[in-house]
Amino acid sequence: MMRTLLLGAALLGATGLGALAQDGGESAGEWNETVAAARGQTVYFNAWGGSQNINDYIGWVAEEVDDRYGITLEHVKVDDTANAVAQVVAEKAAGRNEDGGIDLIWINGENFASMKEQDLLAGGFASSLPNWRLVDQDNPSVTTDFTVPTEGRESPWGGAKFVFFTDSARFGALETMPDSAGELLEWAKANPGRFSYPAPPDFMGSSFLKQVLSETIEDPAVLENPVVDADFERVTAPLWAYLDQLDPVMWRSGRDYPANYPAMKQLLADGELGIIFAFNPAEASSAIANDELPDTVRSFVFSGGTLGNTHFVTIPYNSGSKEAAKVVANFLISPEAQIRKEKPEVWGDPTILALDKLSDAEREAFAAIDRGVATLGPDELGPVLPEPHPSWMTRIEEKWLTRYGS
C-alpha cells in the first residue's frame, strides 16, 4: 500500500498534475482521462530524419512512452517538413477530417504559419499540458513563432541559436574567424572552396540566407511584417548582391551544394570546408562526443548577433490519436526528457524549461551536464537576431531557386 501511494505521488510530480487547475490547463481528472484514452493508440510522428543522434533520441522517447503509457510512437522520417504539411492539405481536400495519417509534426515557423493559415492545426493544446507550467514562458519565442502567435497550437520542444564552427587545427584560431556576414564573405574570398551552405529550401540553407538578410538589409524591422510584393526586390537586393559575390568562391565554385547539414558536417570532418554552421550551440560538442568531428573543432558567433528561435511539435486537426499525441508532447517537455536531450552525447539541444521552476534535483541534473569543449556558454552566444515573418522565406526560397538552383 505504501509503495502504491509513493508511486502515485511520483507520477503526480512527474506530470505536474497538481498545478493543472490553477494554471488554466486540464484538471487532474481530465488529464487522467486523456492518458487513459491514449493507451493503445499509435502516434505517427513526422520528424526530420537526417541526424542519427536525433533519430536515436526519438527512439528512446518511443520506448519510454510505450513503457509508461502504452503508446506506440512511429518516427516517420522526413527530409522536408513541407511534405508533411502537403499531406495534411491533401487529406483535407479529400475530406479526410478524421483519422489522418499524421499525428504529430516537428515543425518550423514557416510551415506552422502555413498550417495555421489553412486551419490545419488541432485546437490550442500546448497550454493544457501538465508540463507547460515548467516552460520558460517569459521567453517570447515559445509563444510567438517567426512573428506568428502560437496560441497554444504548437508545443515547444527545444531552443536554437545559430552558431558557426571551424577546425581550429586546420583553419586557424577563433580570433582569426569572421565576426559578421561581411567578414565571412571576405574570408570565403581569401579561402576559395572552403565555404558552402545547403541549397534552400533545406532548413539550414534557408537559415543562412536569413542570417545574411538580417545583417545586410537596410531596415531589419521590415522583416517583422509580411512581405509586400512591391517592396520585395528593393528590400532583398543586398542579399542577392552578397550571394552573387559568394557563389563563385564557394565549394565546387557554387556548381553544387551540400545536400543538408550532415553532409556539410562531413565536409568539415574531411577538411574540405573550413567553416560550417548549425542551429544548435552544442552541435559541435555533440559531434565530437560521437566521433563525427575532431576534438579541435570550436564554435563561434558574430558579435552583432545571430538568429535564435524555438522549435516545436504540433498536432494536425485530423489526427486520430490526439490524446496520445498530447501525452507524447507532454513527455517531450518533461524535465527527464529535456535533461537527456541537452546532453551533447545524446543531442545537445538546449532546454525550453525555466530552471527556477524545477526541483533542486532537476536543476542539479542540468548543471551537471558536461556540454563539451566546443559549446559556448549562455553569456558567449551574443545577441539574438529575430526570425523574419515566414512569408519572407517563401519568397526568398523561390527567388533563390531561379537565380542559383539550376
Which whole-number Å values give the CA distances from 251 to 63, 276, 277, 300, 362, in the listed order?
Answer: 41, 12, 15, 21, 45
Q: Tell me the per-residue pLDDT of 19-58, one tens digit each, with 9 for 90 and over.
A: 443 344 678 889 999 999 999 999 999 999 988 999 999 9
What is the per-residue pLDDT for 344?
A: 86
- pLDDT greater than 50 at residue 68: yes
Bridge partners (DSSP) of residue 277 are 164
What is the per-residue pLDDT for 21?
A: 37
Are residues 325 and 314 in contact, defined by beta-carbon separation less than 8 angstroms?
A: no
Which cell numbers hold the place of 260? 543538408
Bridge partners (DSSP) of residue 307 are 385
- pLDDT greater than 90 at residue 276: yes
Mean model confidence pLDDT for the chain = 91
What is the per-residue pLDDT for 406?
A: 67
Give mean pLDDT, residues 58-71.
Answer: 98
Tell me how long the chain is. 406
What is the per-residue pLDDT for 140?
A: 83
Q: pTM of the full predicted structure?
A: 0.78
- pLDDT greater than 50 at residue 331: yes
Domains of the chain: 2-159+310-376 (3.40.190.10), 163-308+382-404 (3.40.190.10)
Structure-model confidence comparison of residues 245 and 22, the more confident one: 245
